[in-house]
Structure 1
């Protein structure tokens, strides 16, 4: 659990925000328990990285199209 430090910092930050913005407070024991629980859940969700084999895939290039000079272009991705 080398990343536990970051989980503790993250949970302290969220506990701070809850105290300031929602008037909810947590004890240090609850904060640490939540950090450990979240870290363990994250590790389980990631699985064993050595057990997964990834094979490189080729990415096909889409040919560029000619766009008139005064055209406004809005590029987007799947995150929208």
Structure 2
């Protein structure tokens, strides 16, 4: 089996256990697809969070001039989440404008989270992961979240 599949097995088992506890203690039902999607999403986020960038040798220690970022600077990614107290799911989306002016859109839905802040944070993580998958090493993220 490939290493990435083997690495996800423990996540899948953990989420199956969490789903079992949700059923027993809270009466929540989860489909196998929801469990698998949650486990793989969490495994991907975990592995992405542990990527350590290569250290580069710094020859010149001259401080860079401080510039004020303006909203029109590219590339940038605006993201937002939608969360309701009584819904079993939440959604998120982004609008990304690349250096060449091309605009890209993305959206997703996932299992319920505890609060609107959790939904915003998970949407930010998803937008960051999407940005990296699209080959962007540098991106400005903007949200309306207070």
TM range (shorter): 0.5 to 0.7
The structure that is helix-richer by fraction is 1
Answer with 1 or 2: which has the greater Rg: 1
Within-5 A mapping of 1:14-25: 14-25=18-29
TM-score by length of 1: 0.58
> 1:4 and 2:13 equivalent?
no
Within-5 A mapping of 1:28-67: 28-48=32-52, 51=54
Q: Which runs of 4+ in 1 moved over 4 A?
A: none
Please report the RMSD computed on the Cα atoms of aligned residues, expressed in angstroms. 1.6
Structure with more relative contact order (C-alpha pairs < 8 Å, separation 6 or more) = 1
Aligned residues: 51
CA displacement 1:2-42 (0-9 Å, x = unmatched)? 31000000000000000000000100000000010000000
The structure that is strand-richer by fraction is 2
Q: Which runs of 5+ in 1 are unaligned?
A: 53-80
Task: Name the CA distance, whole Å, in 2 between partners of 1:30 and 1:10.
Answer: 13
SS in 1 for 2:29: coil
For residue 30 of structure 2, the aligned residue among 26, 33, 37 is: 26
TM-score by length of 2: 0.33
